[in-house]
Amino acid sequence: MQVKDTAAIVTGGASGLGAATAAELAGRGAKVFAFDLPDSIGKAPAVDGVQYVEVDVTDEDQVREGVATAAGAGVPLRSVVNCAGIGPSMRILGRKGPHDLGFYAKVVQINLIGSFNVLTLAAEEIARTEPLEHDARGVIVNTASVAGYEGQIGQAAYASSKAGIIGLTLPAARDLAQHGIRVLTIAPGIVETPMLATVSEEFREGLAKGVPFPQRLGRPEEYAQLALSLIDHDYLNGEVVRMDGALRMAPR
């Protein structure tokens, strides 16, 4: 699937994994529509070929409008990369009492339901495009996490949401096969994103030492490279790819 002269959507596109992916897609000749919240967009750098669109991924109307904007760019909408998400932690039974239900619901709402919302409404538009060779029309890449397999202490909500993304991958690929749309998922390990910006260098070094090889944190640019590789490879479908340096998370 070539991205040059096509439209692409990247959620969470103003920072971290999303920003790196949006820049990579634009560099390959795509018209990129980076969905994010107003505060994040206000801090994002200007990137040639990237148009920021204020979209809350949990809001069906906002997503529908954002997708319509991308679909009306004058080139076919072919690619979607879902990077929007949050990663707060809370124990099921903590010092302040039991896990807050609203907190759990919010994490699942943004990470899992938000991704499904964008996947569904974008697929509707991609399915309307003219088919390419072998009736291919597009590809959607979601973002899970190694926590979806090996959630740590305090990650009940986060791990649940990411395990949901993993479980969504194959049935979504099967559902959308008749429309020529592939669905794939990347499960990153520990990547240098704004979520890690507030921790000490000593803590970051400790995290890096837990990675078998290469013994460092992942980089957003490596996520973007992998996302583009998945988009390029027309026979990859319904698969979850770990990007983690062979890391398997310990309980804490």
Q: Which residues are catalytic?
A: 158
Distance, C-alpha 75 to centroid of its chain: 23
User: What total of structural domains would you count in the chain?
Assistant: 1
Q: Which residues of the chain have pLDDT under 70?
A: 195, 197-200
User: Which residues constitute the domain of residue 76?
Assistant: 7-243
Residue 158 within a domain: yes
Report the pLDDT value the prediction gives residue 221, as an integer from 0 to 100.
98
pLDDT digits (tens, 9 = 90+) for 214-234: 999 999 999 999 999 999 999
Residue 84 within a domain: yes
CATH value at residue 224: 3.40.50.720
Residue 2 within a domain: no
Residue 1 within a domain: no
Taking alpha carbons only, the member of 220, 107, 203 closest to residue 156 is 107
Report the pLDDT value the prediction gives residue 207, as an integer from 0 to 100.
82
Residue 28 within a domain: yes
Residue 20 within a domain: yes
Residue 248 within a domain: no
Report the pLDDT value the prediction gives residue 199, as an integer from 0 to 100.
63
Residue 111 within a domain: yes
Residue 59 in tokens = 């809001």
Distance, C-alpha 20 to centroid of its chain: 11
Q: Which residues of 136-146 are buried (b: 16+ CB within 10 A; e: fewer)?
A: bbbbbbbbbbb
* C-alpha to C-alpha distance for 22 and 203, rounded to whole angstroms: 29
pTM of the predicted model as reported, rounded to 2 decimal places: 0.95
Report the pLDDT value the prediction gives residue 211, as an integer from 0 to 100.
94
Report the pLDDT value the prediction gives residue 197, as an integer from 0 to 100.
66
